[in-house]
C-alpha cells in the first residue's frame, strides 16, 4: 500500500501527466458521441411498456360510431360555415352548440405581444362535469381552430364537439372533461393553461371564469384533412424539451396501434422500418426538436405544468375515418379516467426511436455528460498548468546555462506559482455579461428590425474578439501565458458547469451546444504558427453561434423543401421567448456565445512578457 | 298400503340411527367463513369480485351472514368508473350481480388492516366491537379462510400501506388453536406466489391451498370489456366452476380432495399448491373431508348427556381408580393392623373388618362397565319386543278385518 501511494505520488509529479488532459478530453468527446450512436441498438434501447397499472389501455369496447357519424356530419356542416369568420363569431357558435349539449361554457381573452406583433384571441371551453365524480380532477380535450402551420382544423373541431355530445351520454367519468377550443395552437393553449393554474399575467391574459379540478392529462386533436386517413402521428414535444410521461404515449399507441389497428408514427417519420437507420433518424429528430425547445402543438403548453399531453394528427391515405380517431380518443380517455393519481410511474426523460422503443435518461445521459465533462477536465488542467512555471522558458534557460538552470528548475515544478487572477476574471465576466445584449435585442426588437439586427450583431461579434485581443496587448499591458491559461480555464469551467447541469434538464440542447463547442477545448494561443492560428479561427467561425443559427434557418427543415428563413426563425424564437418561456436563447447567447468569444480571443492571443514573475517563483 | 308404510318405519328408524352416527364422525357444529380482499383501487376490481363470488357460494351453501366475516377494502359497485352502477360481476356474461341487495360487508374501506384481521382471528377485540364483526367460533367450528390480493414471497399486501407476513398468519392460527377457536380450517389464498403464504403454518387441523408457487404469478381469467377491467382470477374462477357444477347443495358428497384434483396447470396457468401435513391423518384424512364441511353449513347438533362419551369414559376411569385406591388402602390397613396387634383375637379382627365393611358401604356405588353388553342386549331386546308387539297388534288388526 505505501509503495502504491508512493508510485501514485511520483506519478503526480510526472511531467507526462500534464500532457494527458487534452487526450482525455478528446476521449470524452469521442465516447460521448459514439455512445449516442449506439443507443438505437437493441442492446441499449428498451421496448416500451405500460408501467401504471391503473391505465389498462385498450381494455374497453369503444362505442363511438354509428349514429355519431351523422352527428359529426351535422357539426362539420356547422363549423364549415364558420371558416374564415372572426374568432368571436366562431366562439359564439361553439358556445351555443356546447350550451345546447348542457355543458357549462367559459371564455377567456388573451393578448400577447412579441417582435412588435400582437397575438390576441379568445379561448372558449366547456366543462362536462363527471356525473358521479367529485370534481377534483379533470382531463382536457383540445381542438385548436388552427394548427401550428396555420391550417384550419376542419375535422378536429366538429369531432371534438361530437365527442362532447357522446361523452355526455356516459355516466362512468370519474374526472371532469374539459373541451377547449383555442384560436391558434400555441398562444391560446398557453394563455388558458397559465390562467387555469393562476400563473398568468392578468394584464395580458384574462382569468378563467370557470374551473374544474386538477388537470390529469390532455389530448389535442389536429385533424385538418377531410378524407380518410391511414395512421396517427403522435406529437409529444413540450416547451423547453420537456416531455409527457411515457405511459401516456404508450397508452395512445396501445389504443391506436393495438386495439384499433391503425399505424402510429412519431417525429414525422411517416415510414419507419425499425432499422438502425430509421431509429437513429427518429432519435436525432427528437433530439433536435427537444434541443430547440419550441412548442410543437397545442399540447406543449400543458407539459410545463406537469399535465401530460400529446397531440394526435391523422395522416396518410387509408380507410380509417373520423369515427376511428374518435374511438382512439374515447379509448385513451377511458384509460385516463382509470387513473387514481397523476401519471408518475413511467419515464419523463427518454428518447423515443420508434413507437415502441426508447432509451431512458440513465442510458443516454452519460453521452451529454461526457461531452460537458471534457470542458471541465480541460479547465482543471489549465488551472494546474497556470500554477506551474512555463516549461518552455525553463528549458530555453536550461540550454543556456545548464548548471544554473538545474538549480532553479528542479524544485520549481512542484511549487505553485502566484496566479494573476484579475485580468482573466474581468475578461470572462465581461464576455458573460455581454451575452445579455443579443438576448435582449433579439427578444425586444420588432419583426422588421430582426434581420438587420442579426446581421449587425454577426459582424460585431466577429470583430469583437480582435478588439478584445488588441485591448489585451496595448503598449502598456501585456498578457502572459499564465493569464491566457486562466482565461481559458475560467471560460471552460463555466461552460462545463452550465452544460452538465443543463444536460439533466434538456439533454439534447446540452449535447448539441456541447458538440458545437468542442473546438474550444483545444484552441490555444499559437503565436509561432500562423497556419494553426488561421485554421483554428476558420473552425471557430464556422462553428460560431451566429453561423450555426444562420445556417440552421436557411437549411431545409425536417419536412419542408426550403428552410424557414432567418426572419421567421428569429420571429419564432422571440415568440417562444415571450409566450411560452422557452429558454434556448439564454443558453445560446449567455452560455455558448461568451465561451466562443473567449475561445477566439485566446486563439488571437500573443502571450508574452510578464516572465519576471515566473522567474521569481 | 298402510301396512307397507308401517313396515317401512323401523327401517327408517334404523337409517336415522345410522345417519346420526355418520354425522357425529364430522364432529363440527358450526361453519364460519372469513373472506378477505386486501386490495383497493378500480383496477383491482377482480379481487373484490373473487371474494364476492366466494361469499355468494358459501351463502348459497347455507352459511348465514352472521357467520361470514367479509372484508372489502373498496367499493367497486359505487365507483364512478363502474359502467354498471351498484353492481359487481365476476363474469363478462354479467349473469349474476354479486353485489345484489343482500350483502353484509363487515369490514370495509380502511378498516381492512392487518391489525384488524389478526384481531378478528384471535378475537382480541375491545368491548365496543359489535358481535357482527367478531369471529365467534369455538373448538367445534370449521372455518373457511379465503384471502385474495397482491402477494409476494411470504407476504400479502393489505391495501397499499402494509402487508401481513406468512409468520404473522401462522402465529395467528396458532393462537386460535391454543384458544380452541377452531376445529378445522380450510385456508385458501389467491395471490401471486400464494403458496409461500401458508408455508409457515404450524398449527394442527389446517388444510391449506394456494394458487401459485414461489416466483409464480397468479393470473386473471378474463376481462369485461364494458367494465374495462379484469373481473376474476383464474384460480378463483376454477374453484367456483367446481363449486357451482359439483357442489350444488349441502348434500353433495364431493370431497376436498376432489376439489384439489380439479386444479390443473392448463386451467390456472400456475401451479396451485395444497398442504396436508398439518392435518391429523395426513393427506388421506384431509382429502376425505367434504367440501361442504367448509363451504356449507352442516347443522350438526351436539347433545349433552348419554351421548357425551368422553365424560362417561372419564367417570368410569375415575371410579376405577377410586376402587383400586380403596382396595390398596384396605390392604395396607389390614397389614398395618396385623403388625400392630398380632395377639388380638379373631373376634376383634372380624369386628374391625365389619366396621370397615360398614364404613365402605357409605361410599357411592362405583360405576362399572361389566354389564355393558347386557345393558345393550336388554335394550335391544326391549326394542325388538316392542316391534314384535307392534307387528302382532297390526297383524291381529288386519286379521280381524
B82 to chain A, minimum CA–CA distance in Å? 6
In 10 A of CB A568, how many CB atoms?
13
Contact A172 B80 (CB under 8 A): yes
For residue B45, the chain A residue with the least C-alpha distance is A54
Cβ contact B112:B158 at 8 Å? yes
The reported pLDDT for the residue numbered A391 is: 54
- How far apart are alpha carbons B146 and B191 in whole angstroms? 11
Q: Which residues of A touch B192 (CB under 8 A)?
A: none
Say yes or no: B42 contacts chain A, CB-CB below 8 A: yes
CB of B81 within 8 Å of any CB in chain A? yes
Q: How far is A213 from chain B (nearest CA, A)?
A: 16
Partner-chain residue, chosen from B81, B225, B230, that has the shortest CB–CB distance to A338 = B81
CA within 13 Å, CB half, B301:
5
- Contact call for A172 and B83, based on CB within 8 A: yes
How far apart (Å, rounded) are the C-alpha atoms in residues B70 and B55?
8
Q: Is B80 on the interface with A (CB under 8 A)?
A: yes
Residue in chain A lying closest to B223 (CA): A59
Q: Which three cell numbers stand for residue A23?
A: 487526450
Smallest CA–CA distance, residue B165 to chain A, in Å, is 24
Which residues on B lie below 8 Å from A171 (Cβ)? 83, 85
* Mutation choice for A interface testing from B39, B40, B43, B192 by most A CBs within 10 A: B43
User: Bigger pLDDT: A164 or A387?
Assistant: A164
Nearest to B41 among A132, A173, A340 (CB): A340
What is the model's pTM?
Answer: 0.82
**What is residue A616's predicted lDDT score, i.e. its pLDDT?**
37
What is the Cα–Cα distance from A442 to A550, expressed in whole angstroms?
14
Q: Residue B186: CB partners within 8 Å, gap ≥ 6?
A: B142, B143, B144, B145, B206, B207, B208, B209, B256, B289, B293, B294
Contact A54 B228 (CB under 8 A): no
Lowest mean pLDDT across A268-272, A382-386, B25-29, B83-87: B25-29
pLDDT at B26: 52
Q: What digits encode the pLDDT tens for the residues A170-198?
A: 999 999 999 999 999 999 999 999 999 99
- B229–A173 CB contact, under 8 Å: no
Task: Spot the catalytic one: B192, B222, B269, B359.
Answer: B192
For an interface test with A, the pick among B44, B80, B221 (most A C-beta atoms closer than 10 Å) comes out as B80
3-state secondary structure of A320: strand
A132 CB within 8 Å of a chain B CB: yes
Query: Could you read off the pLDDT of B310-331 as tens digits, one per residue?
Result: 777 788 888 888 989 999 998 9
Whether the pLDDT of residue A477 is over 70: the answer is no
**Do B43 and A56 make contact, defined as CB atoms within 8 angstroms?**
yes
Q: Is B225 on the interface with A (CB under 8 A)?
A: yes
Contacts of B43 in chain A (CB under 8 A): 53-54, 56, 338
Q: Which long-range contacts (CB under 8 A, 24 or more apart) does B197-200 make?
A: B197/B147, B197/B151, B197/B154, B197/B155, B197/B156, B197/B166, B197/B169, B198/B166, B198/B169, B198/B273, B198/B275, B199/B154, B199/B166, B199/B275, B200/B154, B200/B166, B200/B167, B200/B169, B200/B170
For A485-551, give the DSSP string.
HHHHHHHHHHHHHHHHHHHHH-HHHHHHHHHHTTHHHH----TT-HHHHHHHHHHHHHTSHHHHHHH
Least CB-CB distance to A338: which of B42, B85, B225? B42
pLDDT tens digits, one per residue of B172-207: 999 999 999 999 999 999 999 999 999 999 999 999
Using the predicted structure, report yes or no on whether residue A5 has a pLDDT greater than 80. no
Say whether residue B229 is in contact with chain A using an 8 A CB cutoff: yes
Q: Which of B81, B223, B230 sits opposite A172 (nearest CB)?
A: B81
B192 a catalytic residue: yes
Cell triple for residue B160?
397499499
Secondary structure of residue A2 in the 3-state scheme: helix
Interface of A with B in 27-86 (CB under 8 A): 53-54, 56, 59-61
CB within 8 Å: A132 and B85: yes
- pLDDT tens, residue by residue, A220-245: 999 999 999 999 999 999 999 999 99
B359 catalytic residue (yes or no): no
Q: State the smallest CA–CA distance between residue B209 and chain A in angstroms.
A: 27
* CB contacts, 8 Å: A172 with chain B: 80-83
pLDDT at A415: 64
Vertex A169 angle, CA A168 and A172, to 5°: 85
pLDDT at A420: 83
- SS3 category, A480: coil
Q: Which of A99-103, A229-233, A609-613, B182-186 has the lowest mean pLDDT?
A: A609-613
**Mean pLDDT rounded to a whole number for chain B:** 84
Q: Which of A56, A130, A173 sits opposite B228 (nearest CB)?
A: A56
Beta partners for residue B71, in sequence order = B36, B107
Residue A410 has pLDDT above 70, yes or no: no
pLDDT the model gives residue A524: 85
**Cα distance from B101 to chain A (closest Cα, Å)?**
20
Domain residue limits, chain B: 22-295, 309-395
ipTM score: 0.81
Q: Write out the DSSP string of B201-260.
A: ---SSEEEEES--TT----EEEEETTTTEEEEEHHHHHHHHHHHHH--STT---BHHHHH
Closest residue in chain B to residue A58, using alpha carbons only? B228
Each residue's pLDDT tens digit, B148-173: 999 999 999 999 889 999 999 999 99
Please compute the mean of the pLDDT values over residues A150-157 and round it to a whole number.
93
Q: How many CB pairs under 8 A join A and B?
A: 43
Is residue A408 packed enough to be buried (19+ CB in 10 Å), middle (13-18) or exposed (0-12)? middle
B83 CA: distance to closest CA in chain A (Å): 5
Position B367 confidence tier, pLDDT thresholds 50, 70, 90: low
At residue A27 the predicted structure's pLDDT band, cuts being 50, 70 and 90, is very high
Q: Mind listing the domains of chain A with CATH numbers? A: 67-355 (3.40.630.10), 373-386+418-616 (no CATH)
Chain A environment of B230 (Cβ under 8 Å): 59
Q: Binning pLDDT at 50, 70 and 90, where does residue B361 land?
A: very low
Helix (H, G, I), strand (E, B) or coil at A71: helix
Check CB contact under 8 Å for A59 and B83.
no
Chain segment B218-248, per-residue pLDDT in tens: 999 999 999 999 999 999 999 999 999 998 8
Whether residue B86 has pLDDT greater than 60: yes
pLDDT surpasses 90 at A401:
no
Q: Which residue has the higher pLDDT, B102 or B49?
A: B49
* Residue A574 to residue B249: CA distance in whole angstroms: 79
- A172 vs B225: CB contact, 8 Å cut-off? no
**What pLDDT sits at residue B17?**
44
CATH number of B22-295: 1.25.40.10, 3.10.200.10, 3.40.50.1460, 3.40.50.2000? 3.40.50.1460
How buried is A399 (Cβ within 10 angstroms: 0-12 exposed, 13-18 middle, 19+ buried)?
exposed
Rounded to a whole number of angstroms, the distance from the CA of B80 to the nearest CA of chain A is 5
Q: Is the pLDDT of residue A615 over 50?
A: no
pLDDT digits (tens, 9 = 90+) for A508-556: 999 999 999 999 999 888 888 889 999 999 999 999 999 999 998 888 7
Q: Tell me whether residues B228 and A59 touch, CB distance under 8 A.
A: yes
In A, which residues are within 8 Å of B79 by CB distance? 174
- Burial of residue A422 (CB within 10 Å: 0-12, 13-18, 19+) is exposed
pLDDT single digits (tens) A341-353: 899 888 999 999 9
Burial of A330 (0-12, 13-18, 19+ CB in 10 A): buried
pLDDT value at residue B384: 94
Please tell me the predicted confidence (pLDDT) of residue A134. 87
Q: What pLDDT shows up at residue A358?
A: 94
State how far Cα A286 lies from the chain centre: 10
pLDDT value for A475: 63
Residue in B28, B150, B183, B221 annotated catalytic: B150
Nearest CB to B41 within list A54, A130, A170? A54
For residues A313 and A318, give the distance between their C-alpha atoms in angstroms, rounded to a whole number.
Answer: 14
Amino acid at each position: 500500500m505505501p509503495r502504491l501511494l508512493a508510485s501514485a505520488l511520483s506519478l503526480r509529479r510526472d511531467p507526462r501527466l500534464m500532457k494527458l488532459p487534452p487526450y482525455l478530453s478528446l476521449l470524452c468527446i469521442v465516447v460521448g458521441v459514439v455512445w449516442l450512436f449506439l443507443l438505437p441498438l437493441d442492446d441499449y434501447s428498451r421496448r416500451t411498456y405500460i408501467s401504471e397499472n391503473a391505465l389498462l389501455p385498450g381494455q374497453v369496447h369503444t362505442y363511438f360510431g354509428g349514429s355519431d357519424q351523422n352527428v359529426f356530419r351535422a357539426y362539420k356542416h356547422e363549423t364549415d360555415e364558420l371558416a374564415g369568420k372572426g374568432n368571436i363569431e366562431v366562439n359564439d357558435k361553439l358556445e351555443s352548440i356546447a350550451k345546447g349539449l348542457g355543458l357549462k361554457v367559459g371564455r377567456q381573452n388573451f393578448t400577447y405581444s412579441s417582435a412588435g406583433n400582437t397575438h390576441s384571441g379568445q379561448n372558449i371551453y366547456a366543462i362536462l362535469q363527471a356525473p358521479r365524480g367529485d370534481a377534483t380532477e379533470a382531463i382536457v380535450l383540445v381542438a385548436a381552430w388552427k394548427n401550428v402551420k396555420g391550417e384550419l382544423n376542419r375535422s378536429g373541431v366538429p369531432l371534438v364537439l361530437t365527442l362532447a355530445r357522446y361523452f355526455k351520454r356516459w355516466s362512468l367519468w370519474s374526472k371532469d372533461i374539459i373541451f377547449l377550443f383555442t384560436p391558434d395552437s400555441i398562444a391560446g393553449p398557453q394563455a388558458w393553461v397559465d390562467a387555469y393554474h393562476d400563473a398568468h399575467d392578468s394584464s395580458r391574459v384574462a382569468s378563467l371564469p370557470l374551473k374544474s379540478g386538477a388537470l390529469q392529462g390532455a389530448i389535442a386533436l389536429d385533424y385538418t384533412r377531410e378524407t380518410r386517413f391511414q395512421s396517427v402521428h403522435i406529437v409529444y414535444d413540450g416547451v423547453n424539451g420537456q416531455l409527457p410521461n411515457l405511459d401516456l404515449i404508450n397508452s395512445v399507441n396501445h389504443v391506436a396501434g393495438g386495439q384499433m389497428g391503425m399505424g402510429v408514427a412519431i417525429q414525422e417519420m411517416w415510414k419507419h422500418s425499425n432499422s438502425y437507420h430509421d431509429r437513429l433518424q427518429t432519435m436525432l429528430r427528437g433530439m433536435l426538436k427537444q434541443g430547440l425547445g419550441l412548442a410543437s402543438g397545442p399540447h406543449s403548453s400543458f407539459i410545463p405544468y406537469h399535465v401530460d399531453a400529446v397531440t394526435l394528427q391523422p395522416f396518410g391515405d387509408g380507410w380509417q375515418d373520423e369515427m376511428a380517431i374518435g374511438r382512439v380518443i374515447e379509448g385513451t380517455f377511458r384509460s385516463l379516467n382509470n387513473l387514481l393519481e397523476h401519471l408518475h410511474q413511467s419515464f419523463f426523460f427518454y428518447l423515443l426511436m420508434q413507437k415502441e422503443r426508447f432509451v431512458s435518461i440513465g442510458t443516454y445521459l452519460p453521452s451529454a455528460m461526457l461531452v460537458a465533462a471534457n470542458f471541465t477536465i480541460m479547465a482543471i488542467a489549465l488551472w494546474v498548468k497556470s500554477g506551474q512555471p512555463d516549461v518552455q522558458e525553463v528549458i530555453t534557460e536550461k540550454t543556456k546555462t545548464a548548471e544554473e538552470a538545474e538549480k532553479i528548475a528542479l524544485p520549481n515544478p512542484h511549487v505553485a506559482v502566484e496566479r494573476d487572477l484579475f485580468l482573466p476574471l474581468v475578461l470572462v465576466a465581461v464576455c458573460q455579461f455581454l451575452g445579455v445584449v443579443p438576448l435582449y435585442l433579439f427578444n425586444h426588437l420588432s419583426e422588421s428590425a430582426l434581420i438587420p439586427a442579426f446581421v449587425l450583431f454577426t459582424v460585431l461579434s466577429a470583430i469583437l474578439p480582435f478588439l478584445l485581443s488588441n485591448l489585451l496587448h496595448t503598449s502598456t499591458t501585456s498578457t502572459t501565458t499564465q493569464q491566457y491559461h486562466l482565461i481559458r480555464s475560467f471560460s471552460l469551467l463555466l461552460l462545463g458547469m452550465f452544460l452538465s447541469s443543463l444536460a439533466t434538464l434538456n439533454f439534447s440542447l446540452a449535447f448539441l451546444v456541447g458538440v458545437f463547442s468542442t473546438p474550444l477545448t483545444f484552441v490555444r494561443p499559437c503565436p509561432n504558427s500562423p497556419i494553426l492560428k488561421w485554421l483554428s479561427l476558420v473552425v471557430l467561425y464556422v462553428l460560431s453561434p451566429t453561423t450555426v443559427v444562420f445556417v440552421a434557418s436557411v437549411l431545409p427543415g425536417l419536412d419542408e423543401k426550403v428552410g424557414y428563413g432567418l426572419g421567421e426563425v428569429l420571429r419564432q424564437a422571440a415568440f417562444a421567448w415571450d409566450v411560452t418561456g422557452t429558454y434556448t436563447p439564454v443558453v445560446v447567447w449567455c452560455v455558448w456565445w461568451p465561451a466562443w468569444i473567449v475561445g477566439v480571443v485566446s486563439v488571437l492571443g500573443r502571450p508574452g512578457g510578464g516572465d519576471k514573475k515566473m522567474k521569481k517563483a | 298400503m298402510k301396512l307397507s308404510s308401517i313396515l317401512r318405519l323401523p327401517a327408517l328408524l334404523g337409517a336415522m340411527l345410522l345417519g346420526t352416527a355418520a354425522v357425529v364422525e364430522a364432529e363440527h357444529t358450526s361453519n364460519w367463513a372469513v373472506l378477505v380482499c386486501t386490495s383497493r383501487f378500480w383496477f383491482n376490481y377482480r379481487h373484490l369480485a373473487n371474494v364476492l363470488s366466494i361469499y355468494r357460494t358459501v351463502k348459497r351453501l347455507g352459511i348465514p351472514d352472521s357467520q361470514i366475516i367479509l372484508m372489502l377494502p373498496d367499493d367497486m359497485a359505487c365507483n364512478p368508473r363502474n359502467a354498471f352502477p351498484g353492481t359487481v360481476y365476476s363474469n363478462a356474461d354479467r349473469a349474476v350481480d354479486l353485489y345484489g341487495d343482500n350483502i353484509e360487508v363487515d369490514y370495509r374501506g380502511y378498516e381492512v388492516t392487518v391489525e384488524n384481521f389478526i384481531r378478528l382471528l384471535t378475537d382480541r377485540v375491545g368491548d365496543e366491537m359489535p358481535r357482527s364483526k367478531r369471529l365467534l367460533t369455538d373448538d367445534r367450528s370449521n372455518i373457511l379462510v379465503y384471502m385474495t390480493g397482491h402477494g409476494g414471497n411470504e407476504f400479502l399486501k393489505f391495501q397499499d400501506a402494509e402487508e401481513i407476513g406468512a409468520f404473522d398468519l401462522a402465529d395467528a392460527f396458532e393462537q386460535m388453536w391454543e384458544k380452541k377457536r377452531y376445529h378445522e380450517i380450510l385456508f385458501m389464498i389467491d395471490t401471486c406466489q400464494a403458496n409461500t403464504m401458508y408455508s409457515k403454518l404450524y398449527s394442527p387441523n389446517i388444510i391449506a391451498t394456494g394458487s401459485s408457487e414461489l416466483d409464480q404469478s397468479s393470473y386473471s381469467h378474463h376481462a369485461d370489456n364494458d367494465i374495462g377491467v379484469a373481473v376474476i382470477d383464474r384460480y378463483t374462477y376454477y374453484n367456483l366452476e367446481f363449486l357451482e357444477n359439483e357442489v350444488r347443495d349441502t348434500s353433495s358428497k364431493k370431497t376436498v380432495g376432489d376439489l384439489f384434483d380439479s386444479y390443473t396447470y392448463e386451467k390456472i396457468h400456475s401451479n396451485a399448491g395444497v398442504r396436508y401435513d398439518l392435518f391429523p391423518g395426513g393427506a388421506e384424512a384431509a382429502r376425505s373431508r367434504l367440501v361442504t364441511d367448509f363451504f356449507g353449513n352442516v347443522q350438526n347438533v351436539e347433545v349433552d348427556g348419554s351421548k357425551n362419551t368422553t365424560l362417561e369414559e372419564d367417570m368410569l376411569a375415575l371410579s376405577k381408580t377410586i376402587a383400586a385406591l380403596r382396595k390398596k388402602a384396605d390392604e395396607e390397613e389390614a397389614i398395618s393392623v396385623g403388625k400392630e396387634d398380632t395377639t388380638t383375637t379373631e373376634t376383634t379382627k372380624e369386628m374391625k373388618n365389619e366396621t370397615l365393611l360398614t364404613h365402605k358401604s357409605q361410599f357411592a356405588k362405583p360405576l362399572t362397565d361389566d354389564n355393558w353388553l347386557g345393558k345393550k342386549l336388554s335394550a335391544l331386546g326391549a326394542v325388538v319386543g316392542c316391534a314384535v308387539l307392534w307387528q302382532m297388534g297390526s297383524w291381529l288388526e288386519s286379521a280381524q278385518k
